[in-house]
Structure 1
């Protein structure tokens, strides 16, 4: 893929991500799911360790919305970076959740291009955890 093609693909992918972000902020579950493959794999912060398929993915959002009502500050992606190839791509960003003033989670999205449409095939949310040093445990 040449530079112009990669740039166009990156712009298309960013548009998919921003539509998904807006759907989350609006509590639009159909809009959230519309951006994903049927065989989505998600690694989320809360259990389970992984969720496989669109039905399991839907349940992760049921849990999310139990803790926060739809709102423009509910789920905000910052520092978004997209790397695109011909038919696969990935994006990374930092998440502000539930109105947090600064990012609290990391986001990685894996994309596939199917029928000339970019879809999220893998989603990974993670939160940093401070580990005790050896001296603190002694």
Structure 2
């Protein structure tokens, strides 16, 4: 078995993240979680404290998509991939914009990190962590920060 070069691993993970961007823009929950391991653990921006398993994460993604009226703009900036032998991680700034079914306009950025493991010849996301900074003085989430 030939070990992939760090550049090849980095390219594979960039391709996964680009596919995830397209999946969000298409509001395709199945496609979004197709890169996750069955036993993924995710820390999302919304409750509960954690999501366990791809099925749980897919339900959460569908709920997210169903809340939007019309298209969702989605992008990832400053994506950094750190390749390893059998494990890797990436982090970047994620952005979503669109109109909720309630009429509220959304235009927000958050931080996200994905941990990946090589299973056979396929990279799978085994852990995902999303977060928003908050103002220590007020305790309020900082929804308006932009890169």
For Structure 1 versus Structure 2, the TM-score category normalised by the shorter chain is 0.7 to 0.9
Indicate the residue corresponding to 2:117 in structure 1: 112
* Alignment map for 1:1-138 (pairs within 5 Å): 5-69=5-69, 71=71, 73=73, 75-99=74-98, 104-132=109-137
- Measure the CA separation in 1 of the matches of 2:23 and 2:85: 26
Let me know the Cα RMSD of the aligned residues. 1.9
Secondary structure class of the residue paired with 2:64:
helix
* TM superposition score normalised by structure 1: 0.84
Higher percent of residues as helix: 1
Structure 2 CA distance for partners of 1:70 and 1:30, relative to 1, 3 Å: farther
State the 1:55 CA deviation: 1.5
Higher percent of residues as strand: 2
Q: Which has the higher contact order (CA 8 A, sep 6+)?
A: 1
State the 1:72 CA deviation: 5.6
Unaligned runs of 5+ in 2: 99-105, 139-147
> In the TM superposition, what whole-angstrom CA distance separates every residue of 1:77-99 from its partner, at most 9, and x where no partner exists?
11100001011000000011125
* TM superposition score normalised by structure 2: 0.79
